[in-house]
Amino acid sequence: MADKTQARRTPLSRDRVLRAAVALADDVGIDSLSMRTLAQELGVVPMALYKHVSNKEELLGGMVDVIVGEIGSPEPAVDWKSAVRQRILAARRALLRHSWASRVIESRATPTPTVMAYMDSMIGMFLAGGLSVDLTHHVMHALGSRIFGFSQELFDAPRDLDPQRPALGEMTTRYPHIMQIASANHDRHSVVGSGCDDQFEFEFALDLLLDGFERLWRLGWSSTGHRADRL
């Protein structure tokens, strides 16, 4: 009751709407965030939100902007590679605080100015390091969602490898190779249900890409040769 009065007294603002939306998504999950539940949380009628965000799409865009704001500025570094690496891992830390964020970022159609600015500064780090405009372009594409600190993880070795489970035998005949990886993983951790080390996998792929970029950079690689036939 006191909260509701408080909420009524504090005037709504775009910033307050966005922060409440982020907090609510953190709490109940992005699927349960609706214009109606958000309005209720703020103690206002649903329509009151539409004065601060033009629709739900724009609300989600604003929520992404809040998270991108949490990434912070790049730390000064000697070389472009470690500068980019540190920045991307900082982005990852920000994203991990909001489990819904990666799904919202990937589902959004057009980037907001804040997201554009983040991408622009990332490009700037490569160019400042001496990579050509051409190479930087392809590098940005190759990183894809990794610039924001996440990647599309479709593969996950089964967490549940209890040998007692009757389905295990069937799994091994149906997916022999997946089970090979799952067993190896299981042996290493010596704990049932440990799954994969997401942070390790992320850094493995990131470093593989960064090393590849560096190699092309040192070779003075350019795409013109590759695509000359298509011009």
Which residues make up the interface to DNA (CB under 7 A)? 32-37, 44-48, 50-51, 55-57
3-class secondary structure for the chain? CHHHHHHHHCCCCHHHHHHHHHHHHHHHCHHHCCHHHHHHHHCCCHHHHHHCCCCHHHHHHHHHHHHHHHHCCCCCCCCHHHHHHHHHHHHHHHHHCCCCHHHHHHHCCCCCHHHHHHHHHHHHHHHHCCCCHHHHHHHHHHHHHHHHCCCCCCCCCCCCCCCCCCHHHHHHHHCHHHHHHHHHHHHHHCCCCCCCCHHHHHHHHHHHHHHHHHHHHHCCCCCHHHHHHHC
Which lies closer to DNA via its Cβ, residue 46 or residue 195?
46
Tell me the closest approach of the beta carbon of residue 196 to a copy of itself, in angstroms: 7
Residue count, binding to a copy of itself (CB under 8 A): 62
Q: Which does 36 bind (CB under 5 to 8 A by kind): a copy of itself, DNA, none?
A: DNA
115-144: contacts with a copy of itself (CB under 8 A):
116-117, 119-121, 123-124, 127, 133-134, 136-138, 140-144
Q: Which does 137 bind (CB under 5 to 8 A by kind): a copy of itself, DNA, none?
A: a copy of itself
Among 43, 185, 195, 214, binds a copy of itself (CB under 8 A): 185
Site for a copy of itself, rule CB under 8 A: 103, 105-107, 111, 113, 116-117, 119-121, 123-124, 127, 133-134, 136-138, 140-145, 147-148, 151-155, 157, 174-178, 180-181, 184-185, 188-189, 196-197, 200-201, 204-205, 208-209, 211-213, 216, 223-224, 226-227, 230-231
